[in-house]
Amino acid sequence: MTKILDIDVFDKSIIEAENIILGIIDKNERNNLCISATSAHGLVYAKENMDFAPILNSFYLNLPDGMPCVWIGRLKGAKGMQRCYGPDLFIELIKKTTDTAIKHFFCGGKERVAIDLMELCKIKYGNKNIVGTFTPPFHEMTDEELMELADKINIMKTDILWIGLSTPKQEIFAFRLSKFTKVNIICTVGAAFDFHTGRMQQAPMLIQKIGMEWFFRMLMEPERLFKRYLKVVPLFIYYNIYELFRKKMM
């Protein structure tokens, strides 16, 4: 792990992350281990919201979802650090578990998104092990509502619970729900559900590789994302430069 803005971030490859997840499921200890695909947005939010930082640091893995996190990690000496993009992690594990007994549950998105994703996984990838879906309400769920949802997830003997919401909502949701579930992995993957169902356009690969996916997404959803990235991008740069210089001066 490499610390970025005081958060432990996974500093290896996406293939190694996939193997770790499959290894955990193989042990079947059902410890509700939370994994987040974490971007600059999540790290900056954790820096500015002290209640959120402990939640991220309680996660079993925080995967570097964007290239800016990878670049900072490499500057800190993690030369093998690679991007672990949430949508890629999701679809690769769907493919790898097609001919296994590993069960998936989809939680997130707007109405019908999770259902459409389940159908896509069955038809396109041949994975029929999606045992349930749930669309969270707009309001913050009570503990009683979370317990009711957890009962549905547990009854289906879910192995991987996928959560596709926005940060920080998805991480907080995963953290709270993990107190009631009996699954192996709870993995938050942001906009993966919308990307794979075609509701949202992914940035071209070149744009992703040069670390400008945030700009592409801002152009696609200016009303929702303009203010976020106008704040997040400068702060991510500032906090990391400050941190690097402070360590050199010590």
Q: Is the pLDDT of residue 205 over 90?
A: no
| Domain-embedded: residue 101 | yes
Query: How does residue 180 score in pLDDT terms, banded at 50, 70 and 90?
Result: very high
| Domain-embedded: residue 183 | yes
| Domain-embedded: residue 211 | no
Q: What is the pLDDT of residues 101-137, one digit of tens each?
A: 999 999 988 888 999 999 999 999 999 999 999 999 8
| Domain-embedded: residue 120 | yes
**Containing structural domain, residue 160:** 2-202
| Domain-embedded: residue 50 | yes
**Six-digit token pair at 36?**
């987040």
Cis peptide before 68 (omega within 30 of 0): no
- pTM, two decimals, is 0.91
| Domain-embedded: residue 54 | yes
Q: Backbone dihedral region of 30: left (phi > 0), alpha (psi from -120 to 50 degrees) or beta?
A: left
Q: What is the β-pairing status of strands 33-38 and 61-64? A: parallel
Name the packing angle between helices 143-155 and 169-177 (round to 10°): 70
Domain count for the chain: 1
Q: What is the pLDDT of residues 148-167, one digit of tens each?
A: 999 999 999 999 999 999 89
| Domain-embedded: residue 238 | no
**Six-digit token pair at 229?**
């990235």
| Domain-embedded: residue 145 | yes
